[in-house]
Amino acid sequence: MTNSRHDLIKDVPAEADRFDRRTLLKGVAGFAAAAAAVSPAVARDYGPGAQPQRYPDPDIVVIDEKRFKAKVGNTVIKRLFTGCLWAEGPAWNTQGQYLVWSDIPNNRQLRYLDDDGHISQQFRKPSNESNGNTFDYEGRQITAERTRLVRFEHNGTVTVLAEKANDKPLNGPNDMVVNPADKSIWFTDPGYGSINLYEGQNVRNGSNQPFQKEAVYRVDAQSGAVTKVADEPFKPNGIAFSHDYKKLYVCDTGITHYPNAKNVVWQYDINGDKLSNGKPLVDMTLDGKSGFPDGLRVDIDGNLWVGAGWVGEGYDGVHIFAPDGQRIGQIKLPEICANVCFGGKKRNRLFMTASQSLYAVYVETQGAHIC
């Protein structure tokens, strides 16, 4: 998701009271007071000089012991980097064994090298305020820039894959996935890159839809045709295929601008180049509180790993759902989690872009897809 806090406060109507200005400011003050009251012995320290965290990590929560088998008892969540303004779009390159992610307001992409942990802070700068990233099955990086979808070729050139749909400009692409069966690219266009200055440009002229209604699109690998495949989500954000490529999942963050939206993850059946039977699969409500489902990935068992936040301590982080939509586990982070991906040599390490930082943890499962 790519909305700024200012945009969040300004655009959500008063009836969505948990996100209005007074509630948010009150909540910030409450969090600050609570943080001041917590002793250093209780607060978790992710700094470089911190003492080791005792096993098992208490912030990896098993909700359903029978269905959530991915917790590793002798590993912990690590903060690999901090210093971003809004970290997004992690993608794993299997050939090069590195992770790429975006820092949208700083207009850059960063790269984490798996061999020695080195981080290149200006892998690409400027990045056209890029958001989501992925790699295709030829190892080429695909990126959602402010208002277009592009691919970086092996010879260093850049191919524009999509910048229009329905003969109109895209609002602002967000996230994408590649289907290995036909090399098609499926992406979301919620428009955050065109409705606030902090992470793009503001061209909406009073509308939450700068150029057209938010939607999910498919780029045909042969013809290059850009076709709308779904528009039920208010603001389609994160996107992922199921482990068997029979279903497509789409996060909806429409509550940022539409009072009737719900914090849900949609599920669609895939029928060739079309989608059908769209319905909400996941409800993000936990203990009476509901946060945004931003980005997601799927593991080899079909479970959904969803980056979530904007609620606070005990909620923000990653929520894990079984294929039937039931929450089975949780990874608590001290920051809002925008997106996740599986990587590492065994594809069993979960990378999490969370607000200002990059986190990682080993899990006893593997990502269903290459990045």
Average pLDDT over every residue of 261-279 = 98
From the list 38, 36, 10, the residue with the least C-alpha distance to 24 is: 10
Question: Which residues have a Cβ under 8 Å from the Cβ of 191 and sit 6 or more positions away?
Answer: 171, 172, 204, 208, 209, 210, 211, 214, 235
204 confidence band (pLDDT: 50, 70, 90)? confident
Label residue 42 by pLDDT band (50, 70, 90). Answer: low
Q: What percent of the chain has pLDDT over 70?
A: 89
Kindly state the tokens that stand for 121.
């802070």
**How far is residue 319's CA from residue 309's CA, in Å, rounded to a whole number?**
10
pLDDT, one tens digit per residue, over 145-158 is 999 999 999 999 99
Which of these, 82, 134, 87, lies nearest to 106 by C-alpha position? 87
Q: Which of 244, 246, 330, 342 is nearest to 284 (CA)?
A: 330
Q: What is the pLDDT of residues 301-338, one digit of tens each?
A: 999 999 999 999 999 999 999 999 999 999 999 999 99
- Taking CA atoms, 269 is separated from 214, 219, 272, 278, in Å, by 20, 18, 10, 7
pLDDT at 219 over 60: yes
The distance of Cα 191 from the centroid of its chain, to the nearest Å, equals 15
Q: Check if the beta carbon of residue 362 is closer than 8 Å to that of residue 75.
A: yes
What local confidence, expressed as pLDDT, does residue 32 receive?
38
pTM: 0.89
Question: Per the structure block, which two tokens stand in for 81?
Answer: 């980097």
Quick one: which of 358, 369, 362, 360 has its CA closest to 110? 358
